[in-house]
Amino acid sequence: MIVLVCGASGTGKSRLSYPLAARLGVPLVEVDDIVEALKAVTTPEQLPALHYWDAHPEAVHLPPEEIVELQIAVARALVPAVEAVVGNHLSTSTPVVIEGDYLLPVVRRGVRSIVLHEADEEQLVANYRAREPEEGEQRGRARVSLLYGDWLAERGRLAGAPVVPARPWSDVLDRVAEELRRSSPPPAPEHRPPSRS
């Protein structure tokens, strides 16, 4: 099974994904690595959405709604690359957990997605403060994360992917594992020859 852990920045995806991959006994792929690899082998003309932030550092001061639109553009630009990674793992029957801000939820044979969602903007502010105390109050970033997270959650619901509340953190791994178990198709029945009685 391929597991996609989707969710906005600051929701705890990395905190979840490493122990989830360990529990499942599979490797972890971070979408950030895919982004960096693609940026290294493309130009801004080839993939403008992916190179936008490097070319326009002042964009961090745009209104949150506009930043979310830019994030959505990056997620959509990454779809072919993510599909290639997923396709490679499916064709080689190699399970994997893939996590990242720019993952769009997909549900199809052999692929399960979960969307980790934090609906409390103040909690996102606190998460950033704990993770990056030297950056101070990142209220604008938390607002972007909230809006983008809500958009991803809606995408997840439309795709039929479970949307899992990020908190309480103490049992999020168990809740995600249960959602994955519940959304997995049952194993094929074992074929046995008819008895000769």
Residue 97 lies in a domain: yes
Residue 116 lies in a domain: yes
Residue 188 lies in a domain: no
Residue 128 lies in a domain: yes
Q: What does the alpha-carbon distance between residue 21 and residue 96 come to, in Å, rounded to a whole number?
A: 7
| Tokens at 114, concatenated | 């979960």
Position 106 scores a pLDDT of 92
Per-residue pLDDT for 185 more than 70?
A: no
H or E segment to which residue 99 belongs:
strand 96-100
Position 197 scores a pLDDT of 43
How confident is the model over 74-128, as pLDDT tens digits? 999 999 999 999 999 999 999 999 999 999 999 899 999 999 999 999 999 999 9
Tell me the three-class secondary structure of 114-162, residue by residue: EEEECCCHHHHHHHHHHHCHHHCCCHHHHHHHHHHHHHHHHHHHHHCCC
The domain spanning residue 165 has which CATH number? 3.40.50.300
Residue 185 lies in a domain: no
How confident is the model over 137-176, as pLDDT tens digits? 999 999 999 999 999 999 999 999 999 999 999 999 999 9
Residue 197 lies in a domain: no
| Range(s) of the domain holding residue 121 | 2-176
How confident is the model over 37-51, as pLDDT tens digits? 999 999 999 999 999
Domains in the chain, number: 1
Q: pTM, whole model, 2 decimals?
A: 0.91
Position 183 scores a pLDDT of 76
Residue 191 lies in a domain: no
